[in-house]
Amino acid sequence: AHQSIVLVMGVTGAGKSYFINKLRPDSVIEGHGLRSQTKACALIETRIGATKVGVVDTPGFDDDEDSDAEILATITRFLTTQKRLNISLKGIIYLHRITDDRFSSSARRSLDILLNLCGDHALPNVALVTTMWAKVDLSIGLQRDVELTSNYWAEFVSKAHIFQYNGTQAMAETIVGQLLAEDDVVLKVQHELSDDHKRLDRTSAGRLVSSKLE
């Protein structure tokens, strides 16, 4: 059967490796602290029910060492190859820590990059997922959740999938399953790079970090 893939994105420390290890135990080294353990995009193959799916671990934005520009370049290189090989992309799972007491400028920039990477048409193929609920008082978490959906995530809410991730394998599979049920998607940045032949720093997402794109 031909394989579909799903990308897992977010700032460093949002729980990407934890999420992927729930889908397939011990497949990724989990980082502790702020340095991203993931420098390249890594494809982890797993199954959701009978469906084979490749889950792609991506380097986190806002990492100490790599600028967001390098990370965007790494992710778009992967997306360019995926499109050239006709591997079907089902969407992006974007993780955000509910433990963050404020929405930092790096979280905002990373979300802007996501929006411009995907384009409006691809939002049904996006799942915005809050993580680390066990580490926060529930009432505070719910308050932050309302703030996210009514404010920072407002542009996504009507089209994207939104989940409060409880840390279990079952829910991780549910989230991936939701995207597998969507049509294949070609992201805005993929159209810009392959159909419009733009350089990365001229794409919508690239322009957000273009001062850093060499």
pLDDT in tens, the chain (214 residues): 468 999 999 998 999 999 999 999 878 777 665 556 667 899 999 999 899 999 999 999 886 556 888 999 999 999 999 999 999 999 999 999 999 988 888 889 899 999 999 999 999 999 999 999 999 999 999 999 999 999 999 999 999 999 999 999 999 999 999 999 999 999 999 999 999 999 999 999 999 987 777 6
Diameter over CA atoms, the chain: 48
Architecture per CATH, domain 4-208, reads as 3-Layer(aba) Sandwich (3.40)
Cβ neighbours of residue 183 closer than 8 Å, sequence gap 6 or more? 125
Q: How far separated are the first and last CA of the chain, in Å rounded?
A: 39
* Distance, CA of 195 to CA of 108 (rounded, Å): 28
**What is the pLDDT, as a whole number, of residue 104?**
87
Element (H, E) at 54: strand 51-57
* pLDDT computed for residue 1 by the predictor: 47
